[in-house]
Amino acid sequence: MRKNSKSLEPIIRVSDVSKVFGRQKEQALELRRSGISKDEVEQETKTTVAIFNANFEVKKGETFVLIGLSGSGKSTLLRCLNGLIKPTEGMVFLENDDIAHIAKKQLQQIRRNKMGMVFQNVGLLPNRTVIDNVTFGLEIQGVPANQREKKGKDALEMVGLNGQAYKRIYELSGGMQQRVGLARALASNQEILLMDEPFSALDPLIRREMQKLFLDIQGEIQKTVIFVTHDLDEALTLGHRAAVMKDGEIVQLGTAEDILSQPATEYVKQLVQDVDYSKIRLAKSAMIPVEVFAYENELPQVVLRRMKTNNLSTIFVLTDQGHLLGLLHIHQVVELIEFHKRDLRGKVVDHQQHQVHPDMSLREVIPLFVNNNLPVAVVDRQNHLIGMILQSTLIASLTERVEVAAEKDVEFFQMEVEQR
């Protein structure tokens, strides 16, 4: 699950929302409030409480995921957000407008201009070309034809469908049709996208491609996305935060680490037990502070003594400004001493091969340890060394509930570097 880079004010607020299908709505809700289960309420009243007392906020630029098994209420809740389904109780605020109680004409304008939707079955028009499908929303908005075509082609380029604009929909594969659906949502330039299991009908390989495409696009445009899925791996990979639903209720709300390390209920615990941690956990979860390092202008004799004292066969080497140069092996330090060198310059190796950023997934880190037990440096965007990953800490992060290295340790290390 990714870090939300914006952390702005909520754009959507869901407050005490319940949705009941059937005649005995009030009685059904009262029974649910008394602690009676959804199934028991349905047996007694012949009424379904599809959503019960949902509360959450979605921030601008965030990908918020609704995760749950079939019948958990996630798709019903999604449709409450754009007024396709009206809540029985509660409010859904889009900024200052209560979607559940505004005029029909105003709601239509919001759907056209501010909030788009991408469905599992795509909903493309078979009698239209790809470009005409992509620009359909713009056509409804009254955008001139030349502007529609430009925006449509830009959207097709974004989803990797260059050269497909004038084909008919039936000429495209299922994965390509799903890309057309995504391009249609992007072309309309709506600020918010509601995505209802958009990739679930695709085969696994194409599904992974679409997930990567989504992450690439979202990283660039940072729209507000509410994404529905029954796949926990998908939820935790794509989203900044997730709401886990069961029987119409949100049983846990939080980040990937919240849900994985502290499941709120037995249901959530069972849900997360088979999660592929390598896709979910980040490099920083396996990172530990670097307590011993060297600077490029130090005497090799001093560095050799430091390595022997700490039983190190390799050591990270930094510039005076704290930028990582790379990794130095002990036999190379010995060579520098034999050649009477006064510093470490000219011998540093593995400048790029063994360094990662803290927000990379562990799946991307694992190949660096294949047939290799060297430490992997963790660097920030300015190439400052902020920690390291060992084979042992990588394994622990993949198999245990581990704590991320304490921030104070990282801050202390950074302060040490700055003082040098």
pLDDT attached to residue 407: 41
> What counts of helices (H) and strands (E) characterise the chain?
18, 16
Scanning the structure block, which residue is given the tokens 């050591």? Answer: 315
For residues 418 and 420, give the distance between their C-alpha atoms in angstroms, rounded to a whole number.
Answer: 5
pLDDT attached to residue 353: 66
3-state secondary structure of 20: strand
Question: What CATH class is the domain 10-114+190-275?
Answer: alpha beta
pLDDT attached to residue 229: 92
Phi, psi angles (nearest 5°) of residue 64:
-110, 130
Q: What fold is seen in the domain 284-419?
A: CBS-domain (3.10.580)
3-state secondary structure of 273: coil
Helix (H) or strand (E) holding 419: helix 407-419
For the chain, the residue count is 420
Q: What is the pLDDT of residues 194-225, one digit of tens each?
A: 999 888 878 888 888 888 888 888 888 889 99
Give the pLDDT band of residue 413 (cuts 50, 70, 90): very low
Six token digits for residue 43: 């047996």
Helix (H) or strand (E) holding 378: strand 376-379
pLDDT attached to residue 324: 92
3-state secondary structure of 235: helix
Q: What is the pLDDT of residues 41-52, one digit of tens each?
A: 999 999 999 999
3-state secondary structure of 291: coil
Q: What is the pLDDT of residues 58-104, one digit of tens each?
A: 999 999 999 998 889 999 999 999 999 999 999 999 988 899 889 98
Helix axes 174-187, 204-221, angle to 10 degrees: 20
Phi, psi angles (nearest 5°) of residue 242:
-140, 150
Average pLDDT value for residue range 312-328 = 90
Give the pLDDT band of residue 414 (cuts 50, 70, 90): very low
Q: Which range among 254-263, 270-279, 343-352 shows the weakest confidence by mean pLDDT? A: 343-352
Domain ranges of the chain: 10-114+190-275, 284-419
Residues 6+ apart with CB under 8 A from 377: 290, 316, 324, 327, 354, 355, 356, 385, 387, 388
Give the pLDDT band of residue 138 (cuts 50, 70, 90): confident
pLDDT attached to residue 415: 46
pLDDT attached to residue 352: 57
From residue 398, how far is each of 37, 49, 376, 390 by CA, in Å?
Answer: 36, 39, 16, 12
From the CB of residue 119, how many other CB atoms can be counted at a distance below 10 Å? 15
Q: What percent of the chain has a predicted confidence (pLDDT) above 70?
A: 91
Q: What is the pLDDT of residues 146-205, one digit of tens each?
A: 999 999 999 999 888 888 889 988 888 888 888 888 888 888 888 999 999 888 878 888
Q: Which range among 19-23, 223-227, 282-286, 415-419 shows the weakest confidence by mean pLDDT? A: 415-419
Q: What is the pLDDT of residues 13-43, one digit of tens each?
A: 999 999 999 999 999 999 999 999 999 999 9
Residue (of 352, 356, 357, 348) closest to 317 by Cα position: 348
Residue 250 carries which DSSP code? E
Q: Which range among 11-25, 107-121, 311-325 shows the weakest confidence by mean pLDDT? A: 107-121
Q: What is the pLDDT of residues 331-386, one digit of tens each?
A: 999 999 998 999 988 766 555 568 899 988 888 899 988 888 889 999 998 899 99
Residue 241 has pLDDT above 70, yes or no: yes
Residues 6+ apart with CB under 8 A from 61: 4, 5, 6, 8, 222, 223, 224
Higher per-residue confidence, 60 vs 1: 60
**Burial state string for 132-154 with b = 16 or more CB within 10 A and e = fewer than 16:** bbbbbbbeeeebeeeebbebbbe
Residue 247 carries which DSSP code? T
Six token digits for residue 75: 């798709």
Residue 406 has pLDDT above 80, yes or no: no
Answer yes or no: are the C-beta atoms of 91 and 19 closer than 8 Å. Answer: no
Six token digits for residue 351: 């400048």
pLDDT attached to residue 100: 84
